[in-house]
Structure 1
Amino acid sequence: MHIKRNYILGVLNGIFFRIGTTFIDVNTILPVLIQRLTGSATFVGLIASLYKVGWFFPQAVSAYYLQDMPFKKPVYIRASIARVFTLSSMTILVALANKVSHVTLLCSVVALVATYSALSGFGSVAFMDIIARTVDPMLRATFFSMRWALGGILSIGAGYAAKWIIQHINFPTNYSLLFGLSTTFIALSAAMFALAVEPTSPMPDKKENFREILTGGISLMRNDSAFRNLYLFRVMIAIWSSALPLYIVYARKELGIAESFAGILAAVQIIGRILPNALWSYIGNKFGNRYILITSAFFAAPMPFLALFLSEVPDSMKLALLGLIFFSGAAALNGIIVGSLSYMLDIAPEHVRPKYIGVFNTYIAPWMLLPTLAGWFAGNFGYIPLFKLALLSAILALFLSSKLK
């Protein structure tokens, strides 16, 4: 009974989360806001970096905190409450944008985005451990795919709503409204999972100190080939994804695409996240979760490849090609997330699962700073060389994915 209940609540959690994040999408909505405030590609990259690093970096701390707790859900609930409070603060702050300096607004938004992301990452270890204990391993790919697919379908409307809000409501009320809508749906998402029933988790033989947990990743990297190969694959994906927030900036600055088109691209991304989910579910259940990662890596290459030709095509084709770029990137990223989450739960030993997940993601965290470097690189050397580097990393990721066992 609880297994079915938790499955449904977990899917509802994902649906509301997807809708909420669409209103402040880190690859479309937030970059346009930061570009408006600063005109700097470097700052656009910085906000994307902080969003990603904040999610990954605190997970080893979370693993240390959770290791001897028989119930993990209270940690998730506390982190979620703090996360909603942070989003509410951003809503109020952006509403007051005309009454404070752009420097104050920018610094505050950056700090709050980093805080929101860190809270999300801290709570995610507890979330993943509960999912691992309550969702049948053979249904994990389907579970994560349903969260993305059903949430994505409803988020299409959110993307178009974001476009209308940006286009028809004056600044800063438009962006404040987007943050407010995001706050509402993120709160609903947390409330759904708070209703889940958590079974008691197995305890480790001994409690490790934080240093032992953090340095344990070195041993895992050396002795666990599954851990090592997945890590190298994710590093290549991190390089590829560092350019993601800059495609819309390139389209705005170099090609003259309207600001309101960011909402349309957010909707296109959602479609790209929806359509492949049946494929991910089928591949994961039929062949294994590593094949989701192989297929996703194949989808990653078209995004930077097509971007190389954006300036060469007629104006009538630019919007269509830009839509295809965002579709392929969203499909790849969706598969990488679904595949990585499912594959990680497959290879993580049950009695040390929080440590395994937390250490892996903390080790990935430094690579999440790459969007800042990518923004600086694009500002100094141009967007086309950056897209070529992203294409090369996608090809290497495809090669590395074939080594996963």
Structure 2
Amino acid sequence: MLSMIFCRMDVVLSGFVFYLTGSKVMVGLLPVISWAGWLLPQGIVPWFVEHKERKKPAFLVSAVMRISAWTGIGVGVLLSARAEPGRIFIFFVIFFSLSSLGTGLSGVPFFEIISKLFPLEERGRLLGWRRGSGGLFAVPALMLVLYVFSEKSPIAFPYNYGILFSGGALAIFASSTSFLLIREPVEPVVRAREPFKKYVLRGMLLLRTNPDLRRFILYRICFALGMMTWAFYMPFAIERLGAPRSATGLFLIVVLLSELTGSIFWGHFADKYGNRMLLIGIALVAFFAPVFALFAPRIPLREIDFFGQIFGTINSQVLFLVLSFAVSGAVSGGQIIGSAAYMLEIAPRRRRPTFIGFTNLFALPLVFTGLVAGLISEHLGFEMAFLLAAGFSIVSIFVARTLREYRDTNHG
């Protein structure tokens, strides 16, 4: 949770890139890099770890990559603050790509360890409280964010972001270390690594033979298209609504509080009603994020002294856009919980790493959703991107209704 405060894409990273480049397309590259780094390793990692009794060493490698990347970003931005913006951006992209790749490498071992530690009926609450409880330790971090982005702060751009990125490296170090201290149970595994060609063919066969998996992947793609504008609310606030830099702190507080409460709520919701209902619910709620953004410029404009000592003067349209950030935060926590828990439900136990890896790999079209949103925003306007996102959210609701509830099904 702490790392999300310092390195959130929808508030911190999107704001940093937009202030640095002024380009919506460059902002759209952020989700491209993030999704590519997350999804691409999923096809190869299971081949390396499925036959191993312990998956923790693979997680250790990914943790080192992520910590190194964010340390490099934080220190690099602070030391190169006077360099040309283009050079800073290229430097940032290289290290952000390394971090995203490390996150992708961590996916299979993380979910494999979680599935061995906790029974099916407890995973929703576990994932919810894991994301939500971190907020209890986030108060000092939030105070730092409010200070560096306040109107009275002497810390100028990009030093304020460099401080946040350095804090993100420390937070990732703390969270990774705590996870590595967990004692990983040993379960039966496949005895030997199969030939890579056979492994790939078996993975591809999953998509052809499992209609529930096909529907789940279709849902993920539609939902991602419905959320494709989540990194653009910050540029929209800056360019169209005239948001001051202090609004970054306000948006971040709203997103984190909504994700904190939303994660806990969705976790209990999933355990009580099932992950299928959770995926339907978050798709329904997600519809309102772009809708609120569409209405924000139509709110009567007036300046409001909103906690002036902290945020300064913020206009009514920017304050209305807070609703989009609130929905985005609540939905992002629920989506991570719902997708992860549903995927673990339908995965056969002994082939779980392969199933998790290829399920994520099959969702590779998600890589381009952010770039699509960036191009639409650049050439057709933010409003068109928001309108399309709302439409895909509606489609994802109907696709989610076709999913099967596995809660009472024995498999594996």
Give the TM-score, by structure 1 length: 0.91
**Alignment check: 8 A CA contact 2:51 2:191 kept:** no
1:77 aligns with 2:60: yes
Q: Which moved more, 1:318-327 or 1:24-33?
A: 318-327
Tell me the equivalent position of 2:323.
324
1:324-355 Cα shifts (integer Å, max 9, x gaps)? 11111221221111111111111100001111
SS of 1:308's equivalent?
helix
Matches within 5 A, 1:242-281: 242-281=228-267
1:404 aligns with 2:390: no
Tell me the equivalent position of 1:342.
341
**Alignment check: 8 A CA contact 1:160 1:264 kept:** no
Match of 1:202 among 180, 184, 188: 188
Tell me the equivalent position of 1:116.
99
SS of 1:85's equivalent?
helix
**Alignment check: 8 A CA contact 1:29 1:263 kept:** no
One-letter amino acid of the structure 1 residue matched with residue 92 of structure 2: V
> Partners of 1:118 and 1:76 in 2: how far apart?
12
Tell me the equivalent position of 1:240.
226
Tell me by how many angstroms 1:365 deviates.
2.8
Cα distance change on mapping 1:306 and 1:156 into 2, 3 Å: farther
Tell me by how many angstroms 1:287 deviates.
2.1
SS of 2:194's equivalent?
coil
> Partners of 1:278 and 1:171 in 2: how far apart?
35
1:55-99 Cα shifts (integer Å, max 9, x gaps)? 122111111111211111011012101211111111111012234
Tell me the equivalent position of 1:10.
none
One-letter amino acid of the structure 1 residue matched with residue 180 of structure 2: A
Matches within 5 A, 1:37-48: 37-48=20-31
> Partners of 1:120 and 1:97 in 2: how far apart?
26
Tell me by how many angstroms 1:214 deviates.
3.8
**Alignment check: 8 A CA contact 1:61 1:210 kept:** no
> Partners of 2:116 and 2:392 in 1: how far apart?
34
Cα distance change on mapping 1:247 and 1:212 into 2, 3 Å: farther
Number of residue pairs the alignment of both structures matches = 388
Q: Which moved more, 1:210-219 or 1:362-371?
A: 210-219
SS of 2:10's equivalent?
coil
> Partners of 2:174 and 2:67 in 1: how far apart?
10
Tell me by how many angstroms 1:160 deviates.
4.7
Tell me the equivalent position of 2:360.
361
SS of 1:180's equivalent?
helix
Tell me by how many angstroms 1:312 deviates.
0.6
Identity of aligned pairs, percent? Answer: 27
One-letter amino acid of the structure 1 residue matched with residue 268 of structure 2: Y
Tell me by how many angstroms 1:254 deviates.
0.8
**Alignment check: 8 A CA contact 2:241 2:318 kept:** no
1:220 aligns with 2:206: yes
For structure 1, the residue ranges without an aligned partner over 5 or more in a row are 1-17
For structure 2, the residue ranges without an aligned partner over 5 or more in a row are 303-315, 405-412
Tell me by how many angstroms 1:157 deviates.
5.2
One-letter amino acid of the structure 2 residue matched with residue 311 of structure 1: P
Give the TM-score, by structure 2 length: 0.90
Cα distance change on mapping 1:157 and 1:243 into 2, 3 Å: farther
CA RMSD of aligned residues (A): 1.7
One-letter amino acid of the structure 2 residue matched with residue 27 of structure 1: D
**Alignment check: 8 A CA contact 1:268 1:327 kept:** yes
> Partners of 2:363 and 2:178 in 1: how far apart?
29
One-letter amino acid of the structure 2 residue matched with residue 270 of structure 1: L
Higher helix share: 1
> Partners of 1:85 and 1:108 in 2: how far apart?
14
Tell me by how many angstroms 1:215 deviates.
4.2
> Partners of 1:373 and 1:185 in 2: how far apart?
31
> Partners of 2:181 and 2:237 in 1: how far apart?
43
Match of 1:304 among 290, 293, 298: 290
